[in-house]
Amino acid sequence: MSRWNPQLLEVFFTKLRLNLKAEVSKTYLGYAWWLLEPGLYVAILYLVFGVFRGRGMENFVAFLVCGTIPYLWFQRTVMNATGAIVAGRGLINQVAISKAFFPMLVVFQDMVKQGFVFLVMFCFLIAYGIEPGFAWLYFIYLAAVQLLVIIASALIVALVTAYVPDFRFLVSTGTMLLLFCSGLFFNYKDVILEKHHDLFLLNPMARLIKNYRQVLLDQSQPDWMALFVVALVSVALIGLILTAYRKADTSLARLVVQ
């Protein structure tokens, strides 16, 4: 059962459904937290940078929303993936299963939640006065590219953390650093020297956030080639890390069940 056969896929989607139900049942507000968390982030950033710092701009709330919502998807999934393999100890004890199963379960679990969040984001933008246009269809391409980035990142951090548990602290620090280096609350063209723009956009999340705003707020096409490169690198990383999972399968099983 180490391959992704129909039986394993059935287990995958069953656990996905049960995990979502269990997560909701642990809080009083249930599904509302899927929306309250990003809402609170946006509110805090607006309070600090829009009110206290007076750094706001036209449509600043919409600007924050289009950056914060995608970034939180990345941050939440990568952090949740750090303990995914160890958390799957019970199933690993029962069946021979690819250890990539567990971070992928986290990825799809958070993807389901993010789908609802994105839906509310669209409703908010329209209510805020941003008129939807044909360019919004490009959002699907952006979300697909970001999903590849998230899968690659989740697989990597899950594997490394299984061997080095303290690595999760570096992941936490790294995602916090990316929060300030991805342009969530500033327009990089106004803050960063022009000669450093290309360096700033080497960060895939900065590149994605730029394009989310380009599509949703400016009603223009995304940077197709740049995003294609991000997708291509992500796919290559996914292939490499899955190879590492296969080679480390036996040692991972021993490590987790100890």
What does the pLDDT look like over 102-118, one tens digit per residue?
A: 999 999 999 999 999 99
Collapsing DSSP to helix, strand or coil, 1 comes out as coil
On the question of pLDDT at 6 being above 80, the answer is: no
pLDDT tens string 111-145: 999 999 999 999 999 999 999 999 999 999 999 99
Taking the model in full, what pTM does it have?
A: 0.90
Cα 121 from Cα 210, distance rounded (Å): 16
Q: Among 236, 215, 218, 74, which residue's Cα sits nearest to residue 140?
A: 215
* Mean pLDDT estimate for the chain: 87
Instruction: Please give the pLDDT value at position 52.
Output: 66
* Structure tokens that stand for 33 in this block: 């937290």
Q: Is the dihedral of CA 241, 243, 248, 252 positive or negative?
A: positive
Q: Among 200, 208, 197, 214, which residue's Cα sits nearest to residue 153?
A: 208
Collapsing DSSP to helix, strand or coil, 97 comes out as coil
On the question of pLDDT at 205 being above 80, the answer is: yes
Residue whose token pair is 């609350």: 185
Q: Which region, left, alpha or beta, applies to residue 68 given φ > 0 means left and ψ of -120 to 50 means alpha?
A: alpha
